Amino acid sequence: MPANVPRVRRRPPPAVPAVDQSTASHDEQDPQLYTPTEAAARLRVPESWLRRRAGRRQIPCTFLGKHLRFSPADLAAIIAAAAQPPTGRRGTRRRRHSTGDLPHPDSHASITPAPDTIRTETTPWPG
């Protein structure tokens, strides 16, 4: 090696934390975060429903950058929110009762012209 070329020292690779084998096999079977496809399969709902609600922030979710993910706590919260009892009964629509062929008194069919516009001539054609 020439004398005028500086020697580059290489750093050792960073130490990798030791992985406990009991948690490593657990993480492979039960991931920390679920993709929308996986979460929809676990909840048994359409993926489009899950994505739409998450996009509107109507259900708990996690965004990793632009990637949508669901934690087990998010899925539990979605289930708990859906399991709540309804807040009240939906009102029924009232049907208007028909009175037959007679027009309603307030309808336009029952309006009579003003007395000064009623023609009293007996000839059929104005002339």
Please report the pLDDT score of residue 47 as a whole number. 96
Q: How confident is the model at residue 36 (pLDDT cuts 50, 70, 90)?
A: very high
Domain annotation for the chain: domains and CATH numbers? 30-82 (1.10.1660)
Other CB atoms within a 10 A radius of the CB of residue 62 amount to 15
94-116 mean pLDDT: 61
pLDDT given for residue 111 in this prediction? 56
- Angstrom distance (rounded) from CA 94 to CA 80: 34
> Which is more confident, 123 or 52?
52
Q: Check whether 81 has a pLDDT greater than 70.
A: yes
- Alpha carbons 69 and 75: distance in angstroms, whole number: 10
Straight-line distance from the first to the last Cα atom of the chain, in angstroms, rounded to the nearest whole number: 126
Question: pLDDT for 39-79, tens place per residue?
Answer: 999 999 999 999 999 999 999 999 999 999 999 999 999 99
pTM here? 0.45
Q: Cβ neighbours of residue 53 under 8 Å, at least 6 residues apart?
A: 59
pLDDT of residue 103: 59
